[in-house]
Amino acid sequence: MTARDARLHAFRSDLADARLKGEVSADRFVAGRPARISVSVADLRKAPRPDAGVNTQALFGDDVLVFEDSAGWAWIQAERDGYVGYVADTVLGPREQAPTHIVSVPRTFLYPGPDLRFPVSAQLSMGSAVTVTGAAETRGTHYALLSSGQALIAAHLQPAGETAADYVSVAESFLGTPYLWGGVSGFGIDCSGLVQLAMRMAGRDVLRDSDMQAASIGKPLDPGPDFTGMRRGDLVFWKGHVAIMTDASTMIHANGHTMLVSREGLKDAVARIGYLYGGPTGFRRP
């Protein structure tokens, strides 16, 4: 049997994705049931327990495959990046209408109707997918309407399929966002989550964790003497960490030092991080 990364392939000793039959050993193989994330942010956990660690998250409108639904927990795989984990089964809904728009600002509000004075129904992160069925205007503010009657600020959405020109600019819009281990949203995000979401908004789906990104995004890069070969958009990797260069000498990253998405000089970061974790392990140019 070929070795498989359990983060990206749904298999256990008792149950596995039917697409892996002949490649992994399991007592039973099942086809995944299509479903869609129906809450603002869903935590994907390592185990079906509320105290289990969060590996990553899925956003409103993300499509998933469900391989098991038992005792309040669903074992799923996110279709966009392939990540496997356990979610509370209450975060899942059916796939009905295809999404028409994507939230294009770090955070926005969902209202019960087209009026910003209404109590907020929910909050959505950049990258969330919605199906717009109508439009309305109240006191000069334009709203996008969903089939549920709920409303979003129209200017906070972009048509599905439209992409940002510069993924670094997307990442920069998250400056000041709290650091959250496993986070992938405008409410809390980690280093590789920032890379993934920013690139997603620029039309490029990449893998989730920093080790996956270090092995798969773009091409390896020689930073040159004293890092003189770096430019905007390049990625710098440490063991378990990644940062995005905003120019030849400055980077942006979600980090546990400031507990925010923040800017930092590359040389300063190398010195600071090296004291505890060693130097950069690689550089890549997307």
Separation CA 143–CA 121 (nearest Å): 15
Burial of 140 (0-12, 13-18, 19+ CB in 10 A): exposed
Question: Is residue 227 scored above 90 in pLDDT?
Answer: yes
Residue 280 DSSP SS3: coil
What mean pLDDT comes out for the span 228-241? 98
- Residues 71-109 have pLDDT tens digits of 999 999 999 999 999 999 999 999 999 999 999 999 999
Residue with tokens 């796939």: 95
Q: Tell me the β-bridge partners of 263.
A: 252
Separation CA 21–CA 13 (nearest Å): 12
What pLDDT is recorded for position 276? 85
What pLDDT is recorded for position 275? 87
Separation CA 245–CA 93 (nearest Å): 38
Separation CA 272–CA 264 (nearest Å): 10
DSSP state of 78: E
Q: Tell me the CA distances in angstroms from 273 to 156, 182, 208, one per residue in order.
A: 36, 20, 22
Question: Is residue 1 scored above 80 in pLDDT?
Answer: no
- Residues 242-274 have pLDDT tens digits of 999 999 999 999 999 999 999 999 999 999 999
Token digits of residue 106? 């770090």
What mean pLDDT comes out for the span 212-232? 97
Question: Is residue 3 scored above 90 in pLDDT?
Answer: no
- Residues 155-209 have pLDDT tens digits of 999 999 999 999 999 999 999 999 999 999 999 999 999 999 999 999 999 999 9
Q: What is the 3-state secondary structure (H, E, C) of 199-210?
A: HHHCCCCCCCCH
Angle at 193 between CA 78 and CA 182, to 5 degrees: 75
Contact between residue 118 and residue 112 where contact means Cβ atoms under 8 Å apart: yes
What mean pLDDT comes out for the span 119-125? 98
- Residues 15-57 have pLDDT tens digits of 999 999 999 999 999 999 999 999 999 999 999 999 999 999 9
What pLDDT is recorded for position 2? 55
